[in-house]
Chain A
């Protein structure tokens, strides 16, 4: 509470901080909405600049870029079916069909609204429950991480409900893509073919931009010569139309809880969070058949969840000094360069810095909402820009963004090869969602399982002493088995009725 007041003072007492807040959110939105320039890149590029600012200013800027960037991804995801930032992958599945059906304004306002709710919810959690919630990140050991990741992997069945075989093929391809590089436990090289460039595995930004941006461009290029149907830009309002939001309560609540929860657990991140929320919402929805065809529930699930992760990830950062993801790891650097020690002592030694992180996160969400609504009229027009103008620019940004993130030309090959791979796979009817699922969760399941087994000297029974893990394990098994059962039951019922 006290931190909050001091934080407000620290930020409002310094006009430059406020200016940085607005600038950061704007820059974040721009980086977020351009495919290839990701939220992470925005933050990494800015870190060196913050070294010369005061800690409050620097952290405000980084937090603002982070918030704007994660939210901005929904714009291109909705309008041209290319996620601006990897965490918006699942927004494409419903945002784009809705925009295509003549409601781009509505789709955007639902997405932006969901972002605000997700962000604000986790900001409140950060304000009032940070010390309590931070304990969660300590309770979680290897078994718990393993079980949570397994629950995520088990949703592959829901995901691939149309064609189980192709879904499983996709998930397996994803797992293979995720296993390139040096295995961190035994130090063995996997799938590197002796090439040192592959020793760190496939760069995840390059891979995701390849899978989603490059392949989408390849697809749409085939229709370039065709006359593009002009989409009527619908009305836009500050709040999304109430009748569209029917049934969205469930995904929003799920997104807030799952997003914040996953944010608190270090090392899992936005992509896993949106993936789990999206599939869980589909499962619990009254209209699961509408998912993937422009369902507002789908947009809400994805956008609430990815924004809620941000606030969650800040919790272990400020209370324990533990980074939750790449961006929060960068924030730690921002503290240390000024000689500040991230961790519990920060609350006594530099309360203004702690408060500033909390408050700037809260404010950035609001600024993001207002700014995106204000700019929406401009953005929406993008839906009618001829692709022949748009695609060369997007390609250029993908290449630049991928290179700038780690200063290696090799990553560009990953971008291109993954793009072609995804194009071929989609042509063969393999959906990209299970591929991403396997890529993100496969390595997590493996890593934590092996670490847990090392710690227990190879005794799997150890998991039985961890109640959270056992519950997750049961849920995962139910996820896997129930759909098969319920199908049988339905068949039997149908048979009886005849």
Chain B
């Protein structure tokens, strides 16, 4: 009996180790595969140990997959690796705060979609302006908001939809991902630009998947959702794209017009990129920037990203910061109005 017990306890503590290290130790294999050839004979000062990447969303989500794809391709000096740590909650805010409060020694970075952080500050949910206080290392991919409808509505073009809405004000519902956030601001600005804001009812859904489901079930007839969330529904014909909210057409939707070409003054592309705790040194940032830039130039990576409904658009930290501040300036009045 005692032996069995001892055995059981042993097995138990082994398991404990597995559980404790599981999320950290799992991601080490990938970079080793192609990292060998870059290692120069000289030893660089950074990085000398693995770098933790905080992903503020759940495993298996879009940001998680994107980050793990990058880990597959990236080559860092000294053959060092990235370690992914998922800290989800409050649409990314929890993980972002955890990164913000981490040491700025260059060994903790944040893989983020700044949209929600911007939303929380602008809507007054928090008084920390995280997008401004974090270092922006670089922007990696763009995601677009798209105005879509379902086959039940019978519309195939934007004009048809607008015509119906103008003729029957108050009957059409528009789904949106979240409320009091950048998506909502984007949605309202788009509806404003199209001149139908007062003719439709906007329904906020909790997340892109719920928004998508509602449109598929015809609980709403239009919906503003992110390309990454609805890509599969568009391919299968359950969603019909009418308009891309952006300064250019999305590569995934080459036949769908974008707001800029129609002359509407609403352009956003949700930039996903890497951030770091305030004060991380410029030299260290440069090392990461170079490594990421190389990944972004890899056509295979570009294809992988396209399959996720996103598209590669590398910009350096300064450009990313500028992009986000411009966006914040555009959005601020809409948030004021929503309050």
Contact = CB atoms under 8 A, between A and B. Distances in A.
A462 B220 CA distance: 14
Interface stretch (A151-159, A249-257, A321-329, A476-484): A321-329
A322 B209 contact: yes
A124 interface: no
Contacts of A187: 119-120, 123-125, 179-181
Interface in B61-111: 61-62, 64-65, 68-69, 84-90, 93-94, 97-98
Nearest to B94: A200
Contact of B19 (A48, A316, A400, A454): A400
A187 B179 CA distance: 7
A37 interface: yes
A450 B271 CA distance: 31
B59 A330 contact: yes
Interface in A305-362: 316, 320-323, 326, 329-334, 336-337, 339, 341-345
B34 to A, nearest CB: 14
A44 B59 contact: yes
B60 A185 contact: no
Contacts of B4: 381
Interface stretch (B20-28, B140-148, B287-295): B20-28
B232 A341 contact: yes
Interface in B24-40: 26-27, 29-30
B88 A138 contact: no
B90 A199 contact: yes
From B84, B120, B209, name the one whose CB has the most chain A CB atoms within 10 angstroms.
B209
Given A44-B59, A343-B233, A345-B232, A404 B23 contact: yes
B19 A401 contact: yes
B-side interface size class: 35 or more
Nearest to A266: B213
Given A34-B15, A141-B219, A404-B20, A321 B233 contact: yes
Contacts of B193: none
Given A330-B58, A341-B231, A400 B16 contact: yes
A48 B59 contact: yes
Nearest to A403: B20
Contact of B87 (A47, A266, A316, A407): A407
B217 A140 contact: yes
From A34, A186, A403, name the one whose CB has the most chain B CB atoms within 10 angstroms.
A186
Contacts of A425: none
Contacts of B231: 341
A397 B214 contact: no
A454 B58 contact: no
Nearest to A336: B65
A267 B68 contact: no
Contacts of A203: 89
Contact of B90 (A181, A397, A451): A181
A333 B203 contact: no
B309 to A, nearest CB: 9
Interface in B200-214: 201, 203-206, 209-210, 212-214
A41 interface: yes
Nearest to B123: A187
Given A187-B123, A196-B97, A342-B232, A34 B12 contact: yes
Nearest to A51: B68
Given A196-B94, A330-B58, A455-B173, A408 B87 contact: yes
A393 B12 CA distance: 8
Contact of A266 (B94, B178, B210, B218): B210
A200 B89 contact: yes
B12 A451 contact: no
B210 A345 contact: no
Given A185-B204, A333-B60, A406 B19 contact: no
A331 B209 CA distance: 14
A385 interface: yes
Nearest to A331: B60
Given A329-B58, A408-B98, A322 B213 contact: yes
From A140, A187, A400, name the one whose CB has the most chain B CB atoms within 10 angstroms.
A187
Interface in A357-385: 381, 385
A217 to B, nearest CB: 16
Contacts of B204: 184-185, 451, 454
Contacts of B85: 407
Contacts of B119: 187
A455 B201 contact: yes
Interface in A397-418: 397, 400-401, 403-404, 406-408
A188 interface: yes
A238 interface: no
A142 interface: yes
Contacts of B298: none
A30 B15 contact: yes
Nearest to B92: A200
Contact of A185 (B30, B173, B179): B179
B94 A454 contact: no
Contact of B235 (A48, A142, A345, A381): A345
Contacts of B88: 200, 406
A331 B65 CA distance: 12
Nearest to A452: B203
Given A187-B125, A200-B89, A41 B12 contact: no
B262 interface: no
Nearest to A138: B217
Given A37-B15, A341-B235, A397-B16, A320 B216 contact: yes
B87 A451 contact: no
From B58, B86, B210, name the one whose CB has the most chain A CB atoms within 10 angstroms.
B58
B307 A339 contact: yes
Contacts of A141: 214, 217, 219
Contacts of A485: none
B90 A182 contact: yes
A83 B58 CA distance: 24
B203 A454 contact: yes
26 contacts: A34-B12, A44-B23, A44-B59, A47-B59, A48-B26, A137-B217, A138-B216, A181-B90, A184-B178, A184-B179, A184-B204, A185-B180, A187-B120, A187-B123, A196-B94, A197-B97, A200-B88, A200-B94, A320-B216, A320-B238, A329-B209, A343-B235, A381-B4, A408-B87, A408-B98, A455-B220
Given A320-B216, A323-B209, A336-B308, 18 more contacts: A37-B19, A44-B59, A137-B213, A139-B217, A184-B178, A185-B180, A200-B88, A200-B93, A320-B238, A329-B58, A333-B59, A333-B65, A336-B65, A339-B307, A341-B235, A404-B22, A455-B220, A457-B201
Interface of B: 4-5, 9, 12, 15-16, 18-20, 22-23, 26-27, 29-30, 58-62, 64-65, 68-69, 84-90, 93-94, 97-98, 119-120, 123-126, 128, 173, 178-181, 201, 203-206, 209-210, 212-214, 216-220, 231-233, 235-236, 238, 304, 307-308
What 6 A-B pairs come out closest when comparing CB atoms?
Answer: A333-B60, A200-B89, A138-B217, A187-B180, A330-B60, A343-B232
